Amino acid sequence: MRRSKRKAKSFRFRPFSIKQRRLLNWWRDGSPYKGYDIVIADGAIRSGKTIAMICSFLQWTFDAFPKGEDFIIAGKSIGALKRNVLKPMFQILSAWGIPYEYNRSENFIVIGRNTYYCFGANNESSQDVLQGLTAAGALADEVALFPQSFVDQMIGRCSVDGSKIFMNCNPRGPYHFMKLEFIDKADEKRIYHLHFTIDDNLSLSEKVKERFRRMFSGVFFKRYILGLWVMAEGIIYDMFDEAVHKVPTVERNYSEYYVAVDYGTQNPTTFGLWGKHGKSWYKVKEYYYSGRDEGKQKTDEDYYKDLEKFIGDLYDKDRNHDPYDYYSEPKLKAVIVDPSAASFIALIKQKGKFPVMNANNEVLDGIRNVATALKTRMIFFNDCCTNTFREFYSYVWDPKAQERGEDKPTKENDHCLDADRYFVHTVLFNGPATLETGDLGLGNW
Ligand SMILES: Nc1ncnc2c1ncn2[C@@H]1O[C@H](COP(=O)(O)OP(=O)(O)OP(=O)(O)O)[C@@H](O)[C@H]1O
Ligand SMILES: [Mg+2]
């Protein structure tokens, strides 16, 4: 068993806001909500929900169960949990001078006599472990991204007398189960509901808050900034503006390139060539082939030939790999392909000519990042990309899915935009959360 006793950097506390203090103290003597079993903090991004909830949850577990119990700590995935909860949690424990042991391989933490089991709600196998557990409490971060079955199971597991459940999330659609089953029924189910806005985090400067406000529009602004449970309806990229984003197809001195591929066997296959010019990225040109419309399906080999032609002489291995020319790095950094197109990826690898990269194909995070890239004018489109423009005007949220509480685009007219999303999400917004650091990257927060 590998244990980590590495000391984390201490968390540097700033004053807590009134809302954060309510979240910190709701379970204490003297609070009118002391007898409640569940707290839900929802609202804007970066509004201080997670930090205050970690402090509240830990102190409650120490206070209520000094003899030791088992607890659940859950995030959307183990990766997200480590980034968003465990990292600040260890810093907070260090700041408090409280020792802990973290078992990385088995994902549990021991603090005094208490054990905290960590779960990724998207992992089928974690459900099994959860099933066998009797817990005295749970902390669920970003709970609106969990399947309802996990939330129900988690609550069911907290059967020790005096158990409490701490949940936080950003809003989703109005028919989402967290809204219908918990927030709307808060009084009846004796749930303490706290709504956070960005002003509830006193550690953010006005400048940073203003930057967050500028990053979002439409449904994303309403949800992530105003913290409202509103419908995602109509056109998805309503911040796309031809007058801004459509630019003439002219030569630019691009410093590097990527190609993003959406591969379809029955559906169309598209490629997009992205070039970097200054700080902006341009979709230089597109390729679009629909076997159904053309009456002829293409094979992987056919598409590979088209890809070679599309890339042209941007990546000439012999020329660019002159061993005496250290500066002639190939300008084409990678061909990014949806990982589900396994045979096409294998073929590109086998040919060995272009570097190939699996796309990060998470739909909603990707859409949000494309929306931010449009809103903040990071990406532009040459006017030759006619299929892309057509899709911008017909790419809509699926109203049926909204009624089920899910945010989903309709699976039509999404091929160029899927490839664009792979590029933006995989290349421009890769890596961990960077919201605080001042650059535009949103990472996977
Ligand atoms: N009292 C505090 N002292 C110091 N830093 C704080 C405090 N409260 C919040 N922060 C910092 O503000 C940032 C946002 O806080 P937090 O992660 O808790 O927000 P959130 O509401 O959970 O955001 P999201 O919805 O994006 O997950 C973090 O960097 C956090 O460390
Ligand atoms: Mg959070």
Q: Is the CB of 17 under 6 A from ligand 1?
A: no
- Of the options 3.40.50.970, 3.40.50.1110, 3.50.50.60, 3.30.420.280, the CATH number for the domain spanning 242-437: 3.30.420.280
| pLDDT 10s digits, 67-126 | 999 999 999 999 999 999 999 999 999 999 999 999 999 999 999 999 999 999 987 666
| Residue ID of nearest Cα to ligand 1 atom 20 | 46
- CA 349 – ligand 1 centroid, Å: 42
DSSP 266-294: SS-EEEEEEEEETTEEEEEEEEEE-HHHH
- CA 51 – ligand 1 centroid, Å: 5
Site to probe by mutation for ligand 1, drawn from 11, 13, 42, 50 as the one with most ligand atoms within 8 Å of Cβ, is 50
Q: Is the CB of 21 under 6 A from ligand 1?
A: no
- CA 142 – ligand 2 centroid, Å: 6
Q: Which ligand is nearest to the CA of 10?
A: 1
Q: Which CATH class is domain 3-204?
A: alpha beta
Averaged pLDDT of the chain: 90
Tell me the β-bridge partners of 275: 257, 282
Residue 415 has pLDDT above 90, yes or no: yes
For the chain, percent of residues with pLDDT exceeding 90: 82
Residue 156 has pLDDT above 50, yes or no: yes
**What's the pLDDT score for residue 441?**
37
Q: Is the CB of 436 under 6 A from ligand 1?
A: yes
**What's the pLDDT score for residue 130?**
85
Domains of the chain, by residue range, sit at 3-204, 242-437
- CA 12 – ligand 1 centroid, Å: 11
**What's the pLDDT score for residue 329?**
64
Contact 23, 39 (CB under 8 A): yes
Q: Is the CB of 100 under 6 A from ligand 1?
A: no
| pLDDT 10s digits, 243-264 | 999 999 999 999 999 999 999 9
| Helix (H) or strand (E) segment spanning residue 357 | strand 356-358
Give yes or no on whether 3-204 and 242-437 have one common fold.
Answer: no
**What's the pLDDT score for residue 11?**
96
**What's the pLDDT score for residue 411?**
83
Q: How many CB atoms lie within 10 A of CB 205?
A: 8
